[in-house]
Amino acid sequence: MNFPDYFADAESTFDQADFIIFGAPYDKTSSFRIGARNAPKEIRQASWNFETYNVQTGVDLRDIKFHDYGDLCIENDKPEKMIEKLYAFSKQVIEKNKFPIAVGGEHSITPGIVKAFTSDIAVLSLDAHIDYRNKYENEKFNHACVIRRISDHIDIKSIAVLGIRSAEKEEFEEANKNGLFYIDSYKISNEGIDKSLGMVKDYFGQKRIYLTLDIDVIDPAYAPGTSTPEPFGLHPIDIIKTIDFFASQLVGFDIVEVCPEYDKGQTSILAAKIIRHLIQSAWSNKN
């Protein structure tokens, strides 16, 4: 069964909306499984599964003005060109005081969006991978280099990565040497997510935060439809807790690396629910 081709309940126009959802169907640099370009379409379809009312927050999505712009035309672009388009579009959204929500696509889209913000923001990345290679397969804008490219624009002291459990030895050593703040998934499991979020809060202070969610941070038991699955990940509830914890500081969000053809739709369902929760949480903290 096919539902409308826009995100459920995104009934506002671009000009009316406080939140702008847009698809970034890009997977040209993926190293293991290809197919993240199909995620925006699948996540939109999955979004029609849900009620507008959130029993946890008491917020009804029908009270929130949000718009689905559709997909950016980037599928066949070289990485540099794709980044430029993400930057230009995000800039328009931010300049109009709207909250961008990008639906990838692979993680390589994120640096383009972050660049559109002033460099005094903080970036919180939830990811199984540290993504700190300077180049991968001879490509600077590969999805394995996301945090490194973000650190070209944002001070490394304003970046934190939660949930990592995979890195190349040299990449990891370099991240340590340059002072990248991260908490691995084993430590989060031992200490609990609340304590871990408190550590990030101490580190970031009151800075505005851009949140990037690489879906592979979640354990593949819950989110198997992803490009580079990595066991021993976070629980889906940890993501909701992270969003709620920082809701009043959030200025933008993306969800990346969903790869729909590798599961039975459960990862797209989870992604759609997370987007809906994020809108409700960010909105209720600003209203």
d(C-alpha 223, C-alpha 264), whole Å: 10
Q: Does 238 bind Mn ion (CB under 5 A)?
A: no
DSSP-assigned states of every residue in 10-58:
-BS-TTT-SEEEEEE---TT-SS---GGGHHHHHHHHHTTS-SB-TTT-
Q: Which residue type, as a one-letter code, is found at position 162? A: L
> At CB < 8 A and 24+ separation, what contacts does 91-94 make?
91/116, 93/20, 93/22, 94/251, 94/252
Beta carbon nearer to Mn ion, 20 or 161:
161
**CB of 82 vs Mn ion, minimal distance in Å:** 16
Report, in Å, the least distance between residue 243 CB and Mn ion: 18
End-to-end CA distance of the chain: 36
- The residues in 98-157 that bind Mn ion, with binding defined as CB under 5 A, are 107, 127-129, 131
Name the amino acid, one letter, at 116.
Answer: A
Two tokens at 262? 């590798």
Tokens 């993504």 locate to 131
The structure tokens listed for 206 are 């009151």
**Minimum separation from the CB atom of position 12 to Mn ion (A):** 30
Q: Which is nearer to Mn ion, 42 or 216 (CB)?
A: 216
Q: Cβ closer to Mn ion: 216 or 244?
A: 216
Residue number, 90 or 125, with CB nearest to Mn ion: 125
Instruction: Please report how close the Cβ of residue 209 comes to Mn ion at its closest, in angstroms.
Output: 17
In contact, 59 and 139? CB cutoff 8 Å:
no
**In the bound complex, what is the minimum distance in angstroms from residue 36's beta carbon to Mn ion?**
11
Question: Looking at beta carbons only, is 32 or 138 nearer to Mn ion?
Answer: 32
Non-local CB neighbours of 66 within 8 Å, separated by 6+ positions: 7, 9, 10, 12, 17, 18, 19, 20, 21, 101, 279
CB of 183 to Mn ion, least distance (A): 15
Query: 179-218 mask for Mn ion (x: CB under 5 A)?
Result: -----------------------------------x-x--
Nearer to Mn ion, 110 or 158 (CB): 110
Which residues share a beta bridge with 103? 23, 255
Measured CA to CA, the distance from residue 106 to residue 39 in angstroms comes to: 9
Closest approach, Cβ 222 to Mn ion, in A, equals 15
* Interface positions, 215-234, toward Mn ion (CB under 5 A): 216
Choose between 45 and 267: whose C-beta lies nearer to Mn ion. 267
Number of residues that bind Mn ion (CB under 5 A): 7
Give the interface with Mn ion as residue ranges (CB under 5 A): 107, 127-129, 131, 214, 216
